[in-house]
Amino acid sequence: MRHTEIELDAFNGSSANGYSGKFNLQLPAGITYKEITIHGTNLNNDQIRRVSLSLNGDSLVDLPGLDLRMIQDYKSEYIEDGKWIIPFSDFVMTMQEGQNLSSLVTLPGENVVLQIETDAPTAAQTSGSLVAAIRAEAILGISQSTRSTVPRLYKDVLNGGVAGENRYKNFVNQNKTTNPVRIRRMHMKDSSIINVEIKRNGITLFDKTLEDQNYNLRRFGKSPQTDIYHFDPVKTNFGIADPLATNASTFEIITTKTAVGDFEAVFETVEFIQAA
């Protein structure tokens, strides 16, 4: 077996009934995390307000539960109600090396913290005196002596100040790192986006209407979600060759919208650690 599959330790914290609370778990260090599945009891799919995971204080994952489920649905991967997956390794990739690229490698002595925040109970949950609970399991890889990449799952707000072309030029700066960063996927949550163009050093690398993009995504077995424009350079499942390199003199994401309004984008990226 290439992987070890285990139940993680019990979470600490939360609240008396598990709602409007924070569940905390200190994860073991010195191992490689491929995937973490969060199992909820008496929690609806939209009641995980936030899933965050930090490594030595650096936030690597920071998303609502619904966005984690959206990623699974988009990739056409099976998921049940009351479950949320942190997909470090991308198991849809064709080659093992591509799957491993975005694994989370932790080293002995490091501080790895997983925190889950829950929303308030519904009226039915309150009247039923229900108690919310969370547990987690993980798929693990072998320990490694060094870390060459860091995966990130997070969201950012992109400019949508006009009906028409909107240019977002701050991606590299917003990542707060000088290390090379590549985009695996970008999910732009705005029903008014009709076209996306991406330029690096003034050269157009991508330019597609929403209709054409969704057609191409479906050809490769993906499931475009309602009111989201999915930019997916790894749609053909080659995880090493195809992620989009962003480090450049200029890097622009240009969205054409039919309505005014800033919007959220969920990023799946991998950072390449440069040797000292």
Instruction: Say whether both 87 and 190 belong to one domain.
Output: no
Instruction: Say whether both 32 and 68 belong to one domain.
Output: yes
Instruction: Say whether both 163 and 219 belong to one domain.
Output: yes
Instruction: Say whether both 228 and 162 belong to one domain.
Output: yes
CATH number at residue 128: 2.60.120.730
Instruction: Say whether both 115 and 159 belong to one domain.
Output: no
Per-residue pLDDT tens over the stretch 74-129: 999 999 999 999 999 998 888 888 888 999 999 999 999 999 999 999 999 999 99
Calpha distance 205→161 (Å, rounded): 24
Split at pLDDT 50, 70, 90, the class of 206 is very high
Size of the chain in residues: 276
Q: Which domain holds residue 75?
A: 4-141
Instruction: Say whether both 194 and 171 belong to one domain.
Output: yes
Instruction: Say whether both 120 and 219 belong to one domain.
Output: no
Domain-terminating residue out of 111, 141, 171 = 141
Cβ atoms of 82 and 41 closer than 8 Å: yes
Domain count, the chain: 2
Instruction: Say whether both 71 and 163 belong to one domain.
Output: no
pTM assigned to the model: 0.95
Instruction: Say whether both 9 and 31 belong to one domain.
Output: yes
Domain-terminating residue out of 100, 119, 141 = 141
Statement: residue 274 has pLDDT above 90: no
State the chain's mean pLDDT as an integer: 95
Domain-terminating residue out of 101, 121, 141 = 141
Query: For residues 213, 219, 224 and 228, what is the CA-based torsion angle, rounded to 10 degrees?
Result: -10
Cβ atoms of 21 and 120 closer than 8 Å: no
Instruction: Say whether both 110 and 178 belong to one domain.
Output: no
Statement: residue 175 has pLDDT above 70: no
Per-residue pLDDT tens over the stretch 46-56: 999 999 999 99
Task: Tell me the mean pLDDT in the region 125-152.
Answer: 96
Instruction: Say whether both 135 and 16 belong to one domain.
Output: yes
